[in-house]
Homo-oligomer: A and B are copies of this chain.
């Protein structure tokens, strides 16, 4: 996955950052794969569906398709398909709005709420387990660094 550093490397050039990126990507893919597999096995669902349910659970009043897309960092068209499937599973409902007929408010159904709560409990446990190798101190430090990275990034677009 992605290339090892090519440049010959005096300290401070792109090499350290490339190495960091490779490790970041491997870590997140490893965890993601494990979570995906467990969601499939235990709840017969997928990570994208879980992510949509999680977003909607945070916003009980509902979200627009474009809110979902922006929040989840995926394309508009992508969300359409995932929500379609969740609707057909009865976990989510679209409600046309009087104000603006282009948009629809997407919201969890009661079945969606209770399905998500079960999954979220297990999910939180799994993440705790999968990141168990990290001490509490490192966990918080890592989280803080990643937070500031995100903010830095967002500033510049």
Contacts and interface: CB of A to CB of B under 8 A. Distances in A.
Instruction: Bin the interface of chain A by size.
Output: 35 or more
A116 B133 CA distance: 36
A50 B149 CA distance: 25
Contacts of A27: 24, 146, 149-150, 153
B128 A14 contact: yes
Given A3-B54, A54-B2, A127-B21, A150 B26 contact: yes
A17 interface: yes
A27 B25 CA distance: 9
Nearest to A27: B146
A21 B147 CA distance: 11
A105 interface: no
A131 interface: yes
A23 to B, nearest CB: 4
A44 B127 CA distance: 36
A32 B21 CA distance: 10
A88 interface: no
Interface of A: 1-7, 11-21, 23-33, 50-51, 53-55, 57-58, 71-73, 116-117, 120-121, 123-125, 127-128, 130-134, 136, 138-143, 145-150, 152-153
